[in-house]
Amino acid sequence: MLGVAAITAMIGVLSTALLISVLAQKLELSRSEKYVHNFVLNMKIAKERKTHAANVIKFVLKLWFLKRKRQPTSNEYIQAQRGLVRSMHFNQQLKQEQKKLIDNCTGLPELVLMQHDTNDRTRENTQTLSIMKFKVDKIEEKLTDMNQAITNIQNTLHLLLNRIQQ
């Protein structure tokens, strides 16, 4: 009796796990859907940040106006200060959420593609560097030859000047 209950429980656990894994695969977003979802979330956060930035400006102006009217202790002034601090806090939170969203956007395929591109650029730069080294070596050889030729010309000119002077 106990064995039958254990087998039934195991079958129930396995079937539930299978059902959950199938549902998880169906609910998982594709790569392009993730990009669209992240784009929409980013636009939503950007819109909220603009709203809170406008609220910050609105509360600062209200505080300035009330201070100018010499009412810095009124209830309205305190509410405006609270609103200013709250808007600034929300703006900072949204900024952090936006950074997290950008970090979550890059996945393994993007990292592999970036590494591949970096490797290609490194390879190209190495080839270009070796070609440049070869060209610099050729230029050095030509400069050495030119220096030797100039030295030979100087020696011949000294010999000719010595003959002319005698």
Query: How far is it, in rounded angstroms, from Cα 38 to Cα 50?
Result: 18
Distance, first Cα to last Cα, the chain: 132
pLDDT of residue 6: 83
pLDDT of residue 53: 92
Query: How far is it, in rounded angstroms, from Cα 53 to Cα 66?
Result: 20
| For residue 35, pLDDT beyond 70 | yes
For residues 62-79, give the mean pLDDT. Answer: 84
Query: How far is it, in rounded angstroms, from Cα 150 to Cα 118?
Result: 47
**What's the whole-model pTM score?**
0.47
Query: How far is it, in rounded angstroms, from Cα 139 to Cα 87?
Result: 65
Question: How do residues 3-19 score in pLDDT, each as one tens digit?
Answer: 888 888 888 888 888 88
Query: How far is it, in rounded angstroms, from Cα 131 to Cα 121?
Result: 15
- The band of 130, judged by pLDDT with boundaries at 50, 70 and 90, is very high
Environment class of residue 156 by beta-carbon count within 10 Å: exposed (0-12), middle (13-18) or buried (19+)? exposed
For residues 21-30, give the mean pLDDT. Answer: 72
pLDDT of residue 34: 76
